[in-house]
Structure 1
């Protein structure tokens, strides 16, 4: 969230050099030179952009624009990543672990350094890790402004079609508020549990209460690969028949189980979707799932005791349909974006004095709730952030894959390790740590 706020407040706009737009946008065209259809399209885009204006910067009741808890915390929290700016720049380009390179990039961008876009641009140009490259493009979009637009334009013709499409998508969002896509065809695979398995990029800020006085807060800004390493890589898994009222977020954590099997952690979300526009859906969904809470603060580590609790999470945003991709005679979701929020527990004693490499390890953080009499008092982290996901070509054959990703869930979020649509154990939505210890 905080990266998204960089250069957006009135104070920031006043203090920073606004830069020139001439190198960031195409050659300007006079309104009088446009045809009737072009003017109509421009007016539509203008109206659509108005709907995306941040309400914090619109005059009106402060209850509507100044009541964002994360925005308030970001102004007072101290950074728990104490690396210097020069260390971040060096590690962003040379650390051997791509997740750590990416973490350094996002932390540097979050600090709103003047050369942040240039550093991100360099990473997109030179890094060998494909996911880091498109995540860095997302960080460029988050910073926004003319420099970001110019950087995104550079990669619209990248040799990797996914990088090129992400650059096109992010640039279009900055200009019009809506995404844009290339013309590749799509492929739907019949007989799988879900009509779509959309790989999610998730960036979040953890605001950690450091003492009981509520006057000291810490902040960890997790880049997508770092978040996936701790909490699991997430896929949004909708089915056309039910997507307007429910979907599954299926997560897997790699490297947590000693036998090498993925740790499965599925969430069934339910809610409302607004379909007043045929090309998209605006949604607000919530999940409430039973989970084992580990007092150690580390998944599958019962050394300090466990507690069974119901964990809640909220996600809201917009999905965009692709008429060219038909599933059961309906257009598929090609792209989704939004925000999420929930609660967590960070064992401060466990991370104190440790390097970031030791902290960003599989399962080293647990979701939590305020409503359980034992877990509630331990809850010390407010988690919020943004997510984006689009359909990708995963096998490099030039065709977009709608539902080829392996996710271990039934339509109701139960664990399904062989993906046959039948739960391994009815009602179980997360791996049972007691079986792993046997």
Structure 2
């Protein structure tokens, strides 16, 4: 496959990047982040025109596509991107589109973006307002700020907290085996959740400094409507030098199937069971007003994630956004196993998650979300704290273990 065969151009990328100024700093530090380098070189694989992106950001019936279009406008640096995002925040009926649009403004930064964000601090939706307050405070001080709502907590749940993570990922796909041609798919939070699954951070107060379960559920993959589940056990260390905040670095490595089709639970081309790894680092902020088992709850978490994936690009080239972002398309991968050569996508992203009022009672819900995991990350489809199959962290419906 070549760029020309799918209608894309290298766009003059054969030039070596110019070093802006010798006082900029040590290239070993400044020029060693693979995602930053690929972002300069990769062609964008969203085939829509700028006019299509702008129109669908406000008018497409699917909130995932609207949100994806806003992030695409930001990635393309369209002149009207801030105006599109501002109108979306003011008019969209989907609260997740609205708060992820606020996040897009924070990513853009600058006085105008800050001004728009601060218009919504007192929004009718308390969580949209709190996100605006949080982003405003981060832009001004680097630290988040929260409102004073009360909270609801259930002592019978497996996890002390269940925090939905908004993840913005850039997926850089090797388009051939030369290493010279890369494509970029920028996934807004709902686009990532639609295709890869919605991730939740699930800490318990007694183990959160060294261990964390990330539980991922994917809707729309199984014909009977049950969620597809993948759980990841992350382990690492947390630094508490700053009062009320924890800076962490965690890694996960777990056995799961790599489907040769490139689609979750699609065993039509067979699979290999491999150890798949991921890394996450960042910072969480405690709220002393929310006490759980004698400890302050994590009110907010932010950070970065790195991992590898396998994208069956031959089935995606020339497809529309809706045809590409369907449940289960593309899977996580690994480098150091027999299936390592299949890994053709470098995935780097940022994540943010906070406690949200999910049931509309004006109280933030600390652990109300349904999480299909045991304390050890095994799949627990009835949420009774007991593993469906001990040691299995990936939905076994395709009978991949055999």
TM-score (norm 2): 0.93
> How far is the alpha carbon of 1:328 from its aligned partner?
0.9
User: Partners in 2 of 1:123 and 1:411 — Cα distance?
Assistant: 39
| Partner Cα separation in structure 2 for residue 277 and residue 58 of structure 1 | 31
1:414 to 368, 371, 378: 378
> Mapping of 1:150-161 within 5 angstroms?
150-161=115-126
Task: Say whether 1:404 aligns with 2:368.
Answer: yes
Partner residue in 2 for 1:247:
212
Q: Is the 8 A contact 2:160 2:367 kept in 1?
A: yes
Supply the distance in 1 between the matched residues of 2:127 and 2:58 (Cα, whole angstroms): 21
Query: What is the match of residue 188 of structure 1?
Result: 153
Map 1:261-280; keep pairs closer than 5 Å.
261-280=226-245
Aligned counterpart, 1:72: 37
Long gaps (5+) in structure 2: 1-19
The aligned residue for residue 44 of structure 1 is none
**Given the alignment of the two structures, is residue 391 of structure 1 paired with residue 363 of structure 2, yes or no?**
no
Residue pair 2:218, 2:328 contacting (<8 A) in 1 also: yes
Report if aligned partners of 2:257, 2:400 keep a CA contact under 8 Å in 1: no
Q: Deviations over 1:355-392 (max 9, x none)?
A: 1111100000110001112x111110000000000001
**Does the aligned pair in 2 maintain the 1:319–1:334 contact within 8 Å?**
yes
Q: Secondary structure at the match of 1:427?
A: coil
Q: Structure 1's 57 and 390: CA in aligned 2 closer, same or farther, altered over 3 A?
A: farther
How far 1:303 sits from its partner (Å)? 1.2
- Could you say what secondary structure the match of 1:289 adopts? strand
Q: 1:231 to 1:151 in 2, by over 3 A?
A: same
Q: Does 1:428 align with 2:383?
A: no
Partner residue in 2 for 1:40: none
Count of aligned residue pairs for this structure pair: 384
User: CA shift at 1:58, angstroms?
Assistant: 8.4
* Conserved 8 A contact 1:57-1:65: no
Change beyond 3 A, Cα 1:414–1:57: farther
RMSD: 1.8
What is the CA–CA distance in structure 1 between the aligned matches of 2:22 and 2:387, rounded to whole Å? 48
How far apart, in 2, do the equivalents of 1:309 and 1:435 lie? 15
Distance 1:221 1:353 in 2: 16
Deviations 1:199-234 (A, max 9, x none): 110000000011111000000000100100111111
Is the aligned partner of 1:335 residue 2:315? no
Say if 1:428 and 1:58 are closer, same or farther in 2 by CA, change over 3 A.
farther
CA–CA distance in structure 2, aligned partners of residues 57 and 107 of structure 1? 33
Equivalent residue for 2:320, pick from 348, 355, 359: 355
SS at match of 1:207: strand
Partner of 2:346: 382
d(CA) in 2 for partners of 1:330 and 1:311? 33
Q: Secondary structure at the match of 2:278?
A: strand
Offset, 1:276: 1.3
Alpha-carbon distance in structure 2 between the residues aligned to 1:219 and 1:61: 27
Please give the TM-score of this superposition, normalised by the length of structure 1: 0.85
- Which residue is equivalent to 1:118? 83
Distance 1:203 1:239 in 2: 25
| Separation (CA, whole Å) in 1 of partners of 2:342 and 2:387 | 32
SS where residue 204 of structure 2 aligns?
Answer: coil
Matches within 5 A, 1:99-248: 99-248=64-213
Corresponding residue of 1:299:
264
Residues 1:326 and 2:291 are matched in the alignment: yes
Q: Which residue of 2 aligns with 1:30?
A: none
2:336 alignment counterpart: 371
Work out the CA distance in 2 between the residues paired with 1:297 and 1:365.
Answer: 5
Q: Which of the two has greater helix per residue?
A: 1
Shift of 1:152: 0.3
> How far did residue 313 of structure 1 move?
0.2
Counterparts of 2:184 and 2:268 in 1: how far apart (Å)?
Answer: 27
Deviation at 1:57, TM superposition (A): 12
Residue 434 of structure 1 aligns to a residue whose secondary structure is coil
Matched, 1:314 2:315: no
Distance 1:168 1:286, change over 3 A: same
